[in-house]
Structure 1
Amino acid sequence: MRITAITLAVATVLAVGGCNRMGGSTDVGKAPSLEFDKPVSGEITSRSGVNFNDGSHHQLYQLKLEDKQLAGITLTGALRGSIAVFNNGVLVASSNSGYERGNDVSLAFRANGTGSYQVAINADGPSAFGPYRLRAEKLVPYDGKPMVAEGEIADLLVSKSQDYTLQVDKAGMYEIRLESKAFDTVLKLDGNGVQSENDDGGDDTNSRIGMPLEPGKYTLRVRSLDEDSTGAFKLTAKRTELPANMVMRDGTSLPNNGSVFAMLDGEGRRRFLLSLPRAADVRLDAISSQVDTVLRVVGGDVELVNDDGGNGTNARVEESLPAGHYTVDVSSLSDEAGMVEVRVQIDGAASAAAAAATADAAVEATD
């Protein structure tokens, strides 16, 4: 166990004089029970208990816990509010008011003794009222074992950052996700000469890293964008086979027609070579579901750049190019690593060649 209690900054609590003790409210002994996996509905009205610090209102519940037991509490509904948990009048944990998903609020904490804990639902201000739904659940603590190839870790962030081990036994494309309803996640991968970090690459404010990994041990670092935020999270890893036409090095030649897959490096870029033995109409697409792609084609007097010329955030360059050698830079708009498919289509002679043929035909017609 990392710690025996979580001490967080107090957002809106039943406090007097700024201390982390609950006032001598007669509501405590009369508070209804909150049981695990049995949601309760309620409403903050003008008749609810008053918080002495700012005149906002509250509702109390009692939750029975064993020593060191992990618990999660979620508040949903129309009410804009926060959660605070007390044990014998002393603050144990409170939700972070700086991180919100609409009106939903959640927190996770570890009990610091066996007994009945007071759970306070606090409105955000004197004029905040409305219905809510409250749910408590038991959380299973992480057993400390490495995640091997694929799997899931459910744990509680109780410090600025926490490290976990991913054991890769077989090379492949790995997708690693960090998800939480309690804080804005940041995920970092480090090991075997590979390093990548992501903030909002997943859904909403969740993190996602997708990249090819060789066998070995990797460290997965979990933290919150706001260093003061804590709470429950889920860390998952999934493996898929690498594409057969995967390119791992800069300077690889692109096919005249076809596609290759590439992993943008830690700076979000990859460079290719394109050779045209004769003038041609060329179409290049950089397609990715992970990053917003950018294409840059340079050679001779030509310099072409495109961001969203394809579908969605995919880049596309479509141009008549003279014969020659070109560098094709593929990058991500936000300098992030990610998988990209580069498609090449060369349709034949460029307009200049066609114009020359037309001119020759016109000369023959006059002869």
Structure 2
Amino acid sequence: MRSQAFVVSLKQIAFIPASLLAIGLSSTAAFAQVNKLYNPIPLPGSYEVSDTLSEKDIPTGQGGFARDYMVTLKKGDNLAVDLSSESFDSIVTLLAPDGTTVAENDDGPDGSSNSLLFTRITEPGTYIVRVRSFGETGVGGFKLKVTRLQPVK
């Protein structure tokens, strides 16, 4: 009788870890799937791109869409990020390697709906330049240029 109780207990113990293992594996697989879907585009060596924002890009939750570009920056870099579009009201955001917003601009200083931001990088790493449309203004072509500014001597 005692050996049967021991076998039953052993089966229950073995069953619980197997269940937890299955949950852990399915969570890991789901996480891997999500990571496959998010692939920021590396900015070319010229740090300039002409592209098109489309309905296949990242939905913003406000009716518009966003596209992300990766750029590796060094501590002390002074940047100008210029985003222009004839098709939509643009917003440009610079995100730090930890995902926090470094800087953001909606409308440029010329009164247009294009975006222009200036910032200084305080930590080295891979940053995200996010191009997005304001509200439901949508999709279309745009030009993005990231310029490393040189100090005046």
Q: TM-score range by the shorter chain?
A: 0.5 to 0.7
Map Cα deviations across residues 154-178 of structure 1 (whole Å, 9 max, x no partner).
xxxxxxxxxxxxxxxxxxxxxxxxx
Q: Taking structure 1 as reference, are residues 74 and 91 closer, same or farther at Cα in structure 2, changes over 3 Å only?
A: same
| In structure 1, distance between residues paired with 2:135 and 2:109 | 17
Q: 1:137 is matched with which residue?
A: 147
- 1:37 deviates by 3.4
- Whether the 8 Å CA contact 1:80–1:124 is kept in 2: the answer is yes
1:105, CA displacement in angstroms? 1.8
In the TM superposition, 1:18-167 aligns within 5 A as 26=35, 30-35=39-44, 37-52=46-61, 54-78=62-86, 79-87=88-96, 88-97=98-107, 99-143=109-153
Paired residues of 2:108 and 2:115 also in contact (CA < 8 A): no
Paired with 1:100 and 1:128, the residues of 2 have a C-alpha distance of 22
Q: Identity rate of aligned residues, in percent?
A: 18
SS in 1 for 2:42: coil
Question: Residues 70 and 89 from structure 1, CA distance in 2 versus in 1: closer, same or farther, beyond 3 angstroms?
Answer: same
Measured at CA, do residues 44 and 102 of structure 1 come closer, stay the same or move farther in structure 2, by a change above 3 Å?
same
Q: Distance in 2 between matches of 1:100 and 1:58?
A: 23
Instruction: Report the CA distance between 1:39 and its aligned residue.
Output: 1.6
Q: Classify the secondary structure of the residue corresponding to 1:30.
A: coil
Gaps of 5+ in 2: 1-33
Any conservation in 2 of the 1:28–1:118 contact (CA below 8 Å)?
no
Distance 1:106 1:98 in 2: 5
Cα deviation, residue 107, structure 1: 0.9
C-alpha change, 1:74 and 1:56, in structure 2 (3 Å) is same
Query: What whole-Å deviation, never above 9, does each CA across 1:168-209 have from its counterpart, x for those lacking one?
Result: xxxxxxxxxxxxxxxxxxxxxxxxxxxxxxxxxxxxxxxxxx
Q: Offset at 1:73? A: 1.1
Give per-residue Cα distances to partners, 1:290-328, cap 9 Å, x unaligned.
Answer: xxxxxxxxxxxxxxxxxxxxxxxxxxxxxxxxxxxxxxx
SS in 2 for 1:67: coil
Q: 1:138–1:39: structure 2 CA closer, same or farther, 3 Å change rule?
A: same
C-alpha change, 1:26 and 1:99, in structure 2 (3 Å) is farther
> Is the strand fraction higher in 1 or 2?
1
Q: Which of the pair has more CA radius of gyration?
A: 1
CA root-mean-square deviation: 2.4
Residues 72, 127 of structure 2: 8 Å contact kept:
yes
**Could you tell me the TM-score, scaled by structure 2's length?**
0.67
| Equivalent position of 2:27 in the other structure | none
CA distance in 1 between partners of 2:134 and 2:90 (Å): 5
Q: Deviations over 1:26-80 (max 9, x none)?
A: 489511112463421111222211113x232101000110012111111123132
Residue 123 of structure 1 aligns with an amino acid whose one-letter code is S
Q: Indicate conservation of the 8 Å contact 2:90/2:106, yes or no.
A: no
SS at match of 2:41: coil
Matching residue of 2:24: none
**How far 1:81 sits from its partner (Å)?**
0.7
- In structure 1, the gaps of 5 or more residues are 1-24, 144-367
> By percentage of residues, which structure has more helix?
2
